[in-house]
Structure 1
Amino acid sequence: MPQPLLLSAVLAMTAVPAARADAVADCNAESFARVLTPAAEASPAATAIWLDRSRLRWPEGSTGGRFSLHVSARGGIVARAGSPVSGADGSTPLQIEQAALPAELEARFRWFGPGVTLTLPPEMAGKIAGWHQGQLVLVEETADGRVLRAASVQHAAALDDLFAGAAEQAPLGSQPAPGSTRFALWAPTARQVQLCDYPGASAAAERVLPMQPDPRSGVWTRKHPEDLRHRYYTYLVDVFVPGHGLVRNRVTDPYSLGLSTQSRRSQVIDLDDPATQPEGWSGAPRPAPLDSPVDAVIYELHVRDFSLLDDRVPAADRGKYLGFAHPDSRGMRHLRALAGAGLTDVHLLPVFDFATVPESGCVEPQVSGAADSATQQSTIDRVRGEDCFNWGYDPLHFNAPEGSYASDAGDGRVRIREFRQMVMALHAAGLRVGMDVVYNHTSASGQDRNSVLDRVVPGYYQRLNRQGGVETSTCCANTATEHAMMARLMIDSAVIWARDYRIDSFRFDLMGHQPRAAMERLRAAVNEAAGRRIDLLGEGWNFGEVADGSRFVQASQLSLNGSGIATFSDRARDAVRGGGCCDSGEASVREQGYVNGQFYAPNASAQNRFSRNDLLRTADMVRVGLAGSLRTYEMVTADGSRRRLESIPYAGSQPAGYVSQPTEVVNYVENHDNQTLFDINVLKLPLDTSPEERARVQILAAAINAFSQGIAYYHAGIDVLRSKSLDRNSYDSGDWFNRLDWSYQDNFFPAGLPPAWDNQASWSQMRSRLAAPGIKPGPEQIDWTRRAFLDLLRIRASSPLFRLRSADEIIQRLRLLNTGPQQVPTVLVGLLDGEGLADAGFAAVTYAVNVRLQAETLTLPALAGKAWQLHPVHASPDAADRRAAEQSGLDGSTGRLSVPARTAVVFVAAR
Structure 2
Amino acid sequence: MNRTFPTAGAASIMSMALLAGGAHAAVTPEACESSAFQINQHPAAASFDARAVWLGKRLLKWPGADAGAVFKLYYAANGTITAPAGGKAGGASGFITLERFTGTVPAAAAARFKYLADGPVLQVRESDADDVRALLRQQLVLVQEDAQGSVRAATRIQVAGALDDLYAAAAGLDKLGASVAANRTAFTLWAPTAQQAAVCIYNGPAKPTGSVYQMRFDDKTGTWSVALPGDLSGKYYKYAVDVPVDGAGIVRNMVTDPYSVSLSADSKRSYIGRLDAPRLKPAGWDAAPAPQTVKNPTDMVVYELHVRDFSINDGSVPSEHRGKYLAFTDTGSKGMQHLAALARSGLTDVHLLPVYDIGSVPETGCAVPAPFGAADGLAQQALVKETAQADCFNWGYDPYHYNAPEGSYATDPARAEVRVLEFRKMVDSLHKAGLRVGMDVVYNHTFKAGQDGKSVLDRIVPGYYHRLDAKGAVEQSTCCDNTATENLMMGKLMIDSVTLWATEYKIDSFRFDLMGHQPRAVMEQLQQKVNAAAGRQVQLLGEGWNFGEVADGARFVQASQLSLNGSGIGTFNDRTRDAVRGGSAGDAGEALFKRQGWINGLVYDPNAHAGQVPAAELSRAADLVRAGLAGSIRSYPLQTYDGQVKTLESIDYNGQPAGYAAEPGEVVNYVENHDNQTLFDIGVFKLPAGTSSQERARVQVLGMAVDAFSQGIAYYHAGIDVLRSKSLDRNSFNSGDWFNRLDWSYRDNYFGTGLPPEADNGKDYALIKPLLANAAFKPAPGDIAWTRDAFRDLLAVRASSTLFRLPSAAEIRRRLRFFNTGAQQIPTVAAAYLDGRGYEGAAFNGVAYFINVDKIGHTVADPQAVGKRMRLHPVFTAAGVADKRATQARFDSATGSYEIPPRTAVVFVED
Which among 637, 640, 643 is matched to residue 643 of structure 2?
640
Q: Which residue of 1 aligns with 2:375?
A: 371
> Where do residues 159-178 of structure 1 align in structure 2 (5 Å cutoff)?
159-178=163-182
Q: Secondary structure at the match of 1:204?
A: coil
Relative to structure 1, the CA distance from residue 490 to residue 593 in structure 2 (aligned partners, 3 Å threshold; closer, same or farther) is: same
1:79 is the counterpart of 2:83: yes
1:571 is the counterpart of 2:572: no
Which among 707, 720, 723 is matched to residue 722 of structure 2?
720
Q: Secondary structure at the match of 1:8?
A: coil
Which among 840, 845, 849 is matched to residue 843 of structure 1?
845
Q: For 2:23 and 2:208, locate their aligned partners in 1 and report how far apart those are by CA, in whole Å.
A: 22
Per-residue displacement from partner, 1:453-486 (whole Å, max 9, x unpaired)?
0000000001100110001111110100000000
Q: For 1:114 and 1:144, locate their aligned partners in 2 and report how far apart those are by CA, in whole Å.
A: 26
CA contact (8 A) 2:22 2:77 kept: no
Q: Secondary structure at the match of 2:98?
A: strand
Which among 413, 429, 454 is matched to residue 433 of structure 2?
429
Q: Which residue of 2 aligns with 1:649?
A: 652
Which among 688, 692, 695 is matched to residue 693 of structure 1?
695
CA contact (8 A) 2:861 2:897 kept: yes
Relative to structure 1, the CA distance from residue 59 to residue 219 in structure 2 (aligned partners, 3 Å threshold; closer, same or farther) is: same
Per-residue displacement from partner, 1:52-107 (whole Å, max 9, x unpaired)?
01010001020221111111111111111222211111111111122332333222
Q: Tell me by how many angstroms 1:639 deviates.
A: 1.2
Which among 521, 537, 540 is matched to residue 517 of structure 1?
521
Q: For 1:822 and 1:784, locate their aligned partners in 2 and report how far apart those are by CA, in whole Å.
A: 34
Q: Secondary structure at the match of 1:672?
A: coil
Which among 3, 23, 31 is matched to residue 7 of structure 1?
3
Q: Tell me by how many angstroms 1:736 deviates.
A: 0.2
CA contact (8 A) 2:215 2:225 kept: yes
1:582 is the counterpart of 2:578: no
Aligned partner of 1:814: which letter?
Answer: L
Q: Tell me by how many angstroms 1:167 deviates.
A: 4.7
Q: Which residue of 2 aligns with 1:334?
A: 338
Q: Secondary structure at the match of 1:82?
A: coil
> Where do residues 493-572 of structure 1 align in structure 2 (5 Å cutoff)?
493-572=497-576
1:310 is the counterpart of 2:314: yes
Aligned partner of 2:684: which letter?
Answer: V
Relative to structure 1, the CA distance from residue 289 to residue 133 in structure 2 (aligned partners, 3 Å threshold; closer, same or farther) is: farther
Q: Secondary structure at the match of 1:197?
A: strand
CA contact (8 A) 1:10 1:73 kept: no
CA contact (8 A) 2:360 2:396 kept: yes
1:619 is the counterpart of 2:615: no
Q: For 1:409 and 1:302, locate their aligned partners in 2 and report how far apart those are by CA, in whole Å.
A: 18
Q: For 2:345 and 2:3, locate their aligned partners in 1 and report how far apart those are by CA, in whole Å.
A: 68
1:27 is the counterpart of 2:32: yes
> Where do residues 860-875 of structure 1 align in structure 2 (5 Å cutoff)?
860-875=862-877
Q: For 2:114 and 2:90, locate their aligned partners in 1 and report how far apart those are by CA, in whole Å.
A: 33
CA contact (8 A) 1:724 1:749 kept: yes
Per-residue displacement from partner, 1:502-558 (whole Å, max 9, x unpaired)?
000001111110011111111111111111111111000000000011111111001
Q: For 1:170 and 1:690, locate their aligned partners in 2 and report how far apart those are by CA, in whole Å.
A: 60
Q: For 2:487 and 2:152, locate their aligned partners in 1 and report how far apart those are by CA, in whole Å.
A: 32
Q: Tell me by how many angstroms 1:289 deviates.
A: 6.2
> Where do residues 86-485 of structure 1 align in structure 2 (5 Å cutoff)?
86-288=90-292, 290-485=294-489
Per-residue displacement from partner, 1:699-735 (whole Å, max 9, x unpaired)?
0000011000000000000000000001111000000
Q: Tell me by how many angstroms 1:857 deviates.
A: 1.3
Q: Secondary structure at the match of 1:128?
A: helix
Sequence identity, in percent? 55
CA contact (8 A) 1:269 1:412 kept: no
Q: Tell me by how many angstroms 1:114 deviates.
A: 1.2
Q: Tell me by how many angstroms 1:631 deviates.
A: 0.3
CA contact (8 A) 2:701 2:791 kept: yes
Q: Tell me by how many angstroms 1:283 deviates.
A: 2.5
Q: Which residue of 1 aligns with 2:824?
A: 822
Gapped regions of structure 1 (runs ≥ 5): none
Q: Which residue of 2 aligns with 1:705?
A: 707
Aligned partner of 1:310: which letter?
Answer: D
Per-residue displacement from partner, 1:832-882 (whole Å, max 9, x unpaired)?
111121321111110011101111112231322310100000011110000
Per-residue displacement from partner, 1:557-609 (whole Å, max 9, x unpaired)?
0110000001001001100000001211111111100000011111111021x
Per-residue displacement from partner, 1:716-770 (whole Å, max 9, x unpaired)?
0000000000111100000000000111111011111110111112212111110
Q: For 1:222 and 1:170, locate their aligned partners in 2 and report how far apart those are by CA, in whole Å.
A: 15
1:906 is the counterpart of 2:907: yes
Q: Tell me by how many angstroms 1:17 deviates.
A: 6.5
Q: Tell me by how many angstroms 1:9 deviates.
A: 5.7
Q: Which residue of 2 aligns with 1:891?
A: 892
Q: Which residue of 2 aligns with 1:880?
A: 882
Q: Tell me by how many angstroms 1:149 deviates.
A: 1.3
Aligned partner of 1:149: which letter?
Answer: A
Aligned partner of 1:477: which letter?
Answer: D
Q: For 1:865 and 1:832, locate their aligned partners in 2 and report how far apart those are by CA, in whole Å.
A: 17
The TM-score with structure 1 as length reference comes to 0.98
Q: Which moved more, 1:259-268 or 1:90-99?
A: 90-99
CA contact (8 A) 1:17 1:192 kept: no
Aligned partner of 2:676: which letter?
Answer: N
Q: Secondary structure at the match of 1:185?
A: strand
Q: For 1:17 and 1:880, locate their aligned partners in 2 and report how far apart those are by CA, in whole Å.
A: 77
Q: For 1:445 and 1:57, locate their aligned partners in 2 and report how far apart those are by CA, in whole Å.
A: 25
Aligned partner of 2:903: which letter?
Answer: R
Between the two proteins, the alignment pairs up a number of residues equal to 901
Aligned partner of 2:735: which letter?
Answer: S
Q: For 1:39 and 1:735, locate their aligned partners in 2 and report how far apart those are by CA, in whole Å.
A: 48
CA contact (8 A) 1:14 1:192 kept: no
CA contact (8 A) 2:820 2:861 kept: no
Relative to structure 1, the CA distance from residue 42 to residue 289 in structure 2 (aligned partners, 3 Å threshold; closer, same or farther) is: farther
CA contact (8 A) 2:580 2:625 kept: yes
Q: For 2:210 and 2:578, locate their aligned partners in 1 and report how far apart those are by CA, in whole Å.
A: 59
Q: Which residue of 2 aligns with 1:859?
A: 861
Q: For 1:691 and 1:677, locate their aligned partners in 2 and report how far apart those are by CA, in whole Å.
A: 14
Q: Tell me by how many angstroms 1:286 deviates.
A: 2.0
Q: Secondary structure at the match of 1:281?
A: coil
Q: For 2:749 and 2:906, locate their aligned partners in 1 and report how far apart those are by CA, in whole Å.
A: 26
